[in-house]
Structure 1
Amino acid sequence: MSYVIKLKVIKQEGHCASGHKVGDEIEINYNDNSIKGKICLHALYSILPKVFAMAYGAEFPWLENADVSTHACPDYKNPVVFEVRREKIKE
């Protein structure tokens, strides 16, 4: 099964140096090795393990919905929180 991972900023406090705002969307697709949208390198670096796992079907037992998670960027003074959602790619 192939998935595309969609990130959406759902919360942002303080001043994000990369300019992320609530509602920003990013799409990561391992099938064509693409990223659509703008994402801070610090946030990307920290979120990639979760994105990779979800893209290949991992299920985390603490999630209510296996297809939806959240992730906060590592900037504790100006946190950006992303919703991480996987969607099946229609083949």
Structure 2
Amino acid sequence: MTIIERIDNAATRAQLAVMGTLRDAAQRLQGPRDAPTARDTRDPEEGATTVEYAIGTIAAAGFAGLLIVILKSDAVRAALESVIQEALNTR
């Protein structure tokens, strides 16, 4: 398994974990609708920060996935190899 494949797998696992956390937070915020409870009087903004972080994390993981796809391309790989070779050959 190459390093790119490992990074790609890690990004996918991170996205799935964040999506699961976001789903759980949404379910907790909805709560039961049967009878009024003490939860019905809570602040409507409760948990908003957690959801914002989760959405930001999903966006970052998506951006990381996009970068991985770009870096996997032959043109970018050749350009990076050229830059590295030139830097190693310069004294």
Instruction: Please indicate the TM-score interval, normalised by the length of the shorter structure.
Output: under 0.3
State the TM-score, normalized to the length of structure 1. 0.23
State the TM-score, normalized to the length of structure 2. 0.23
Higher helix share: 2
